[in-house]
Chains A and B, each alone.
Chain A
Amino acid sequence: MKKVQFKSSYSQYFFLAPQLLILLIFLYWPIIQTFRDAFTIQDAFGFGSYFAGFDNFKFIFTDPSYYTAFKFTIIYSFVITLITGSIGLLLAVQANNVLHGKNVYKTLLIWPYAIAPAVVGVMANYFFSERFGLLYHLFNNLWGFNWYEDVFDAYIYVVIAGSWKQISANFIFFLAGLQAIQKTVIEASIIDCKSNIRRFWTITFPLLMPTTFFLIIINITYAFFDTFGIIDTTTIGAPGSETKTLVYKAYIDGFKGLDLGSAGAQSIMMMLIVLVITIFQFRYIEGKIHYN
């Protein structure tokens, strides 16, 4: 094969330039700015600013509500990943087996994915309002549910609000994964094994591992970052600071509290956390997955 090459050695830069410019402005510049903020102390308007070393990090590590936010974020992303993954898988398997009206099911199950998290939060508000919330009153009758003061009840509230929309995302990807499995494999397995459930766990599910792995990462990222709008429109972090995610805390401290140093330090901590989780997943989980 003959290589195609441009004569000028500069033209590749020319074609790369727009993309690089976008990356530079929208990605690297903010990152550099975040690092600058994290290591400076300044007032709200940017005056009185000086290099502070690790003072901002010390500040957040001596803040009890930072640990609460950390704990909640870990619990929240774990629970959301588990719930949305399993329900999404269940729905995908069922929808995949439907013979009539398959597309109707599919479309209806995908719809919630198009709704913005803040809107989901506002809708959840209606369900969990003390005044007219259906779920509030159902749960209240069952065990005295009150998310204003009970931490566990507040967890239930934000988990339901946060999972609902993400189930759709899981559904789509699992369905696509199921449809990508070759028919011959499934047919061969039917001859060998009569039990539907056993066939699923020994043949279908292992073949879905790449999708599952991908969704775990997507769901964790979602719980970490995209649930911001949901928290802001439901519990606003209450009771105490028990339902504040790390992102929400950084926002409150940076934009409401006007402390950019602390918000910058928190952003860097978040970067590190995501880095650790991703490395862990790629090293220890991906090794066990077989792509085709």
Chain B
Amino acid sequence: MKKLISILAILVSFTFTSNSYSKTEIHWWYGNSGFLGDVIIEIANRFNDSQDEYMVIPTGKGSYEDNMAATIAAFRAGDQPHYSQVYDAGAAIMVAQVKNGVVIGFEEMAKKYGIDVDADNYIPGIKNFYADADGKMVGVPFNSSTCLMYANMDILAEVGIEEVPRTYEEFEAIAQKIADAGYIPLLQSHSPWIWTENFFSRHNLLMTDGNNGYDAVPTKTLFAETDEFVMHWSKVKEWYEKGWYGYKGRAWGDNQAPFTNGEAAFWFGSAASFGGMKGVLPNFTTNPILYWDSVTGGKEYPTFIGGAANWILNGHTEEEYKGLAKFIEFMGSPEMDLYYHNMTGYAAVTKGGIELAETINFYRTSPYHKAVGDQLGLEGSTIPGGYRAGNWPQIREVIYENVEPMLNGDISVEKALSNMDKGAEKLLAQFAKTL
């Protein structure tokens, strides 16, 4: 018994001492892996080295979906991290959780903990994507990408094309030439994100009712009733049959691989995709994603912001939130913003970062980085800069499920799009029930 007590005493004193001597820990969970995950760890390390009071501990949880599921499970178990990276499709779910006290809005945090954090530090387009109905910033912009078009300049030179196309009409005019030379003219890696959500944003069209969910909880998607969207997929199907568009399944990488290996002329992917291509593909460029001249009348509109934001989760001590605020300030500094932009290709999200890039003439030496800012910075849209639709991860699944039967001819384009609408309508109704 005596022995037991002394062991306990040692254990207790150990935990006490280790607590009183250690720094305040801040847990940050993320859903990037590979190189992008390494950069996140590097950011945390730099912050930890920059001061002595706080320690940010980054933990990778797998993919975006995995991290979101892990964060939710942790919250339900009362063991949530302070800061978690949640992707665009989960934004509606996270914004809706402010009222339940799960998420602390960024601007609210300033008030609640007397911390000096500034939402105006971030560029408006990106800030608004993660804001609530009143325009208050909730999620903290982090890795912000959008879909871009990658072009293999060697293939274009080989078949005698001098200019990279800017519209789908221009693409149609040259596609056969590329196919004749034995290359795949076009590939893309994400049907819901690139050819659904961002089809609507690129052409300034509404995707759901309720003004994309910004004015009212959306009840339906507008896929089948948007003639331009029907036209687009009819064209895609036609290209697929002609061999102008190659479909390599649902996996992102399977669609990217032929492009990286120099077998395809154009590929639609993320602004952060070029890391893996540098050094493999000798001569490629990043370009704004194509648009239908016939739809917009020659005008270009910005695409939605993709990628993810970091969200502040409730249930920790004031001291820890102070540390988190320091970390957010650190990440929002022009130097760190530009560092992240440079390393990953994600857009610079702060005004300071963009100014710094201009001051040092960053884009002259790094041409790959420019397209993302150009495309997101376009003006003139009358639709909101995003969408607020619940159950969106499942709606993406419904979109995927209907694209394949459409391409292989099992169902018509109209039928596929109305199937998507039907599936989405059910899922939106299901989400509305929980509000």
Contacts and interface: CB of A to CB of B under 8 A. Distances in A.
By secondary structure, the A interface counts as loop
Interface stretch (B28-36, B222-230, B363-371, B394-402): B394-402
A46 interface: yes
Contacts of B65: 255-256
Given A45-B75, A59-B426, A258-B72, A148 B391 contact: no
By secondary structure, the B interface counts as helix
B412 interface: no
B100 interface: yes
Interface in B409-429: 410, 419, 423, 426
Contacts, number: 97
A63 B424 CA distance: 11
A48 B69 contact: no
Contacts of A42: 434
A194 B75 CA distance: 71
B404 interface: yes
A63 B426 contact: yes
Given A148-B247, A149-B247, A236-B251, A45 B401 contact: no
A149 B247 CA distance: 9
Contact of A240 (B75, B257, B405): B405
A285 to B, nearest CB: 36
A212 B98 CA distance: 57
A62 interface: yes
Contacts of A240: 401-402, 404-405, 410
Interface in B216-263: 247-251, 254, 257-258, 261
A262 B76 CA distance: 18
**Which of B100, B250, B404, B407 has the largest count of A CB atoms less than 10 A from its CB?**
B404
Interface residues of B, number: 41
**Which of A44, A148, A252, A253 has the largest count of B CB atoms less than 10 A from its CB?**
A44
A241 B75 contact: no
B408 A59 contact: no
A46 B393 CA distance: 17
Given A65-B401, A130-B254, A149 B100 contact: no
B434 A148 contact: no
B250 A236 contact: yes
B434 A253 contact: no
Closest 10 A-B residue pairs measured CB to CB?
A257-B394, A239-B404, A43-B434, A149-B408, A48-B434, A148-B249, A47-B100, A241-B401, A256-B65, A240-B405
18 contacts: A42-B434, A44-B72, A45-B76, A45-B100, A47-B434, A59-B426, A63-B426, A130-B254, A148-B249, A149-B404, A149-B407, A150-B408, A237-B401, A238-B400, A252-B397, A253-B394, A257-B391, A262-B430
Interface of A: 41-49, 52, 59, 62-65, 129-131, 147-150, 235-241, 252-253, 255-259, 261-262
